[in-house]
Structure 1
Amino acid sequence: MKKIERAEKLVQNHLNTFRCPICHQDYIKLTGNTLVCAEGHTIDFNRHGYLHFLNTQGTTEYDRLMFLSRRRLLEAGLFKPIIEEVNSLLPTSPQSILDVGTGEGTPLAQLAALRHHQDFYVGFDISKPGITLATQLDIDAFFCVADLRQLPFADQSFDTVLELFSPSDYREFNRVLKENGRLMKVIPNGDYLLELRHLLYGDQDQHYHYDNSKVLKLFKQHYPDAEQIPIRYQFNLPHELVTDMIKMTPMSWGRDVHQPTGDDLENLTSITVDVSLLVAKKSN
């Protein structure tokens, strides 16, 4: 089955999951490649097999090359323990799962490979290059370009909202979560990618250290009963992926970033992954 045919079938089977971002009315039919809402607004599948729900191009600083670097590292297992922990906390029954800021889609694909359930997966991002790459994955999921602040999904559509290292809109998350649905958010801790941070910046630079207290405080304001699960491990970095490690993160974009020497790259053999998995029930 072609990508566009697979995507159209998923949308047709879950039509009530989607709503028009213009008028917020339900989509009522899929005619050919065109999705039509109750007010007559339409949106077409493109040749890559995804829907573009933005009124703009959806471009970001995250380009195709950056996403390819990220994919190579994730396929090598950079976030594997995180995905395994997420999977361990999900029910074994079929779930509808929304992946916020899915990027090129590898974490969602890895989660699907672990579960072997009849789940319904949706991943969205503002980046067209990321979503275009995501549609190339061998996963039975639907991907789209969409706005975090105005999600093109109906109220109470998802059992789980998953968010790895992305911005949040808790009001929208609560809207699209089902009753008793859960939000699972991964945030960096102080030692996340510590070796890379110290390689690229001096100890007086703000990027040399990381403090997640503001992000954590805001999350707990919305979800005071949330569980915080620490996940920390060392990822052995293959030499051929050292350059990808630097390219995959905006950390390398700073004004005062150091240019690593050949010796620096040779010595970068292990990376600290230090994160918190925040798990919360839908708040009212």
Structure 2
Amino acid sequence: MLKKIDRSALFLKENTALFQCPLCHETVTNKEKALICPNKHRFDLSKKGTLYFLDRQIKTEYDNQMFAHRGAMIKSGMYQPLIEQLAIFCDNEQVLDVGCGEGSFLNALAEKTSLQPSVGFDISKEGVYLATNQPQPLFWCVADLTKLPFADQSFSTILNIFSPSNYQEFDRILKPGGKVIKVVPRSHYLKELRAAFYPDEPEKQQYSNVQVVEKFKQMYPKVERSQVTYVFDVPKAQRLSLLEMSPLEWGVDPERKAALQKAPIEQITIDLDVLIGKK
């Protein structure tokens, strides 16, 4: 079995054309487990088989623990109806997963479909390092949404689940006729968790992503929109992970969190918009 770095080196050798230098936008060549541009910007594979495309160190609030709990919830089946729907649009596509985190969504799609060589990236090094543990033969890198290290017209599908967008860059790297799949939480998403975390703060229990949806519709007027809504029975083994899987947990009173750990939530509402726009 190949080491992570050797598996990634093989991916780079076969798919160098997917990438460009994010600093000067020149084409890159593959040399000695690295990508190098004509201006001598060099990006070396880490021992874990990832590329780091940032020009500075960035520390995010998303840590290993949160990503691990998020991955546990995805693997528990919490998002299975969503994954089933996404698989229809990703089969035989070359997918870029924007804000991939620990890679659970892209890995799940690779298990269900026949993906072309696909890539996940995140600005969080912690998440990308965890993604290298995913079993499917995917490539992972650390990159900035505003300076994507990918060549023009290099991907047929962009996956944008619970993460920010950069539509100018999306259009640049999409192949003609390519599509953006954006998954946006609706108002009842994780409502039980919000109510449990912030019972005396109704403003934190309600929110709207209308502006996000409207912006997408402006960019892709012929948008296809569908709703995915259901109640998920949280497996007992994952109930503590539910409390730790999202930024919702960051501002919770420690005493309230301790009480929820003793009597965790057993059911959770998933309420999502799936938006599909074509270039």
TM range (shorter): over 0.9
**Residue by residue, what CA displacement relative to the aligned partner does 1:240-282 show, whole Å, maximum 9, x if unpaired?**
3222111111011236687146478536110000001000101
Counterpart of 2:16 in structure 1 is: 15
Alignment partners' CA distance in 2, 1:89 and 1:17: 21
Normalised to the residue count of structure 1, the TM-score between the two structures is: 0.93
Cα pair 1:199 1:258 within 8 Å, conserved: no
Write the mapping of 1:245-284 to structure 2, written as runs, cut at 5 A: 245-254=242-251, 259-260=256-257, 262=259, 266=263, 268-282=265-279
1:102 to 90, 100, 103: 100
1:153 to 133, 147, 150: 150
Alignment partners' CA distance in 2, 1:74 and 1:163: 16
**Residue by residue, what CA displacement relative to the aligned partner does 1:38-66 show, whole Å, maximum 9, x if unpaired?**
22221111111100000122321000011
Cα pair 2:239 2:264 within 8 Å, conserved: no
Write the mapping of 1:1-284 to structure 2, written as runs, cut at 5 A: 1-28=2-29, 30-90=30-90, 92=91, 94-115=92-113, 117=114, 119-202=116-199, 204-254=201-251, 259-260=256-257, 262=259, 266=263, 268-282=265-279
- Alignment partner of 2:118: what SS? strand
Cα pair 1:201 1:258 within 8 Å, conserved: no
Cα pair 2:198 2:252 within 8 Å, conserved: no
Cα pair 2:240 2:264 within 8 Å, conserved: no
Cα pair 1:188 1:274 within 8 Å, conserved: yes
Alignment partners' CA distance in 2, 1:265 and 1:215: 36
Paired residues in the alignment total 278
**Residue by residue, what CA displacement relative to the aligned partner does 1:161-189 show, whole Å, maximum 9, x if unpaired?**
00110000011111100000000000000
Report runs of 4+ in structure 1 exceeding 3 Å deviation.
255-258, 260-265
Cα pair 2:197 2:252 within 8 Å, conserved: no
- Alignment partner of 1:136: what SS? coil
- Alignment partner of 2:68: what SS? helix
Alignment partners' CA distance in 2, 1:226 and 1:83: 19
**Residue by residue, what CA displacement relative to the aligned partner does 1:70-119 show, whole Å, maximum 9, x if unpaired?**
111111011111111011133x5x3210000000001100000001x251
Cα gap change, 1:142/1:208 in structure 2, threshold over 3 Å: closer, same or farther? same
What residue ranges of structure 1 are gaps of 5+ in the alignment?
none
Alignment partners' CA distance in 1, 2:115 and 2:188: 36
Report how far residue 120 of structure 1 moved: 1.1
Greater alpha carbon shift after TM alignment, 127-136 vs 259-268: 259-268
What residue ranges of structure 2 are gaps of 5+ in the alignment?
none
Alignment partners' CA distance in 2, 1:191 and 1:143: 32
Report how far residue 204 of structure 1 moved: 4.0
- Alignment partner of 2:183: what SS? strand
Cα pair 1:53 1:145 within 8 Å, conserved: yes
Normalised to the residue count of structure 2, the TM-score between the two structures is: 0.95
Query: Residue type of the partner of 1:80?
Result: Q
